[in-house]
Chain A
């Protein structure tokens, strides 16, 4: 199985900040990387698929980049509703695997 690593597990930021959330795969996954946002008590929500494609309805302050083993989710101009946990997920091979998540907290 491909292991997805997200470090740090949490970070603190302020409204208006630019935040970068890293994700690393244990082997090359090309561009088969998705990002999800999860708020407490809610289901995950797809933000970005195939590394850099914004899901319909997702604000343009979210962007994704990377290739191979290293990927980044960037939130520019952090908004109050963006405080949540973010998960990366590889779809390169079965089983699909998720990172452990990065929680974005209010500074």
Chain B
């Protein structure tokens, strides 16, 4: 069974860089035609897509965060990572990693990590 697990600091200071890693188990990140993504959810609010990456390194980013986000992949470790720089309190959220599955009928986030809360505070 495919599993995803987020890891990284739970507290980041304003203006610094948020760094998270998603470790994938149960399948190779390089197998199949899947993208791997990050979605975030501020406390008590809705879901916001952050970006996706393919095992080749091709990335897509959300427009509101594009200037501050970098997503990378390490196929040797079966991991992909998120970096968000110049963070503010507005970046406080639960960050989820997920797999983007699908077919000709469309794509969808079918496997999710449990999520990790990142708080931006001094």
Contact = CB atoms under 8 A, between A and B. Distances in A.
Q: A and B: partners? A: yes
A91 B102 contact: yes
A33 B106 CA distance: 8
Sorting the interface of chain A by its residue count into under 10, 10 to 19, 20 to 34 or 35 or more gives 20 to 34
Contacts of B48: 98
B46 A99 contact: yes
Instruction: Tell me which of A43, A44, A50, A91 has the highest count of chain B C-beta atoms within 10 A of its own C-beta.
Output: A43
A10 interface: no
Interface residues of B, number: 20
A46 B63 contact: no
The winner among A31, A45, A46, A96 for most chain B CB atoms within 10 A is: A96
Nearest 8 A-B pairs (CB), nearest first?
Answer: A50-B105, A43-B112, A49-B108, A98-B47, A34-B108, A32-B106, A50-B106, A91-B106
Interface of B: 46-49, 60, 62-63, 96, 98, 102, 105-110, 112-115
Interface of A: 1, 31-34, 36, 42-46, 49-50, 53, 55, 87, 89, 91-92, 94-101
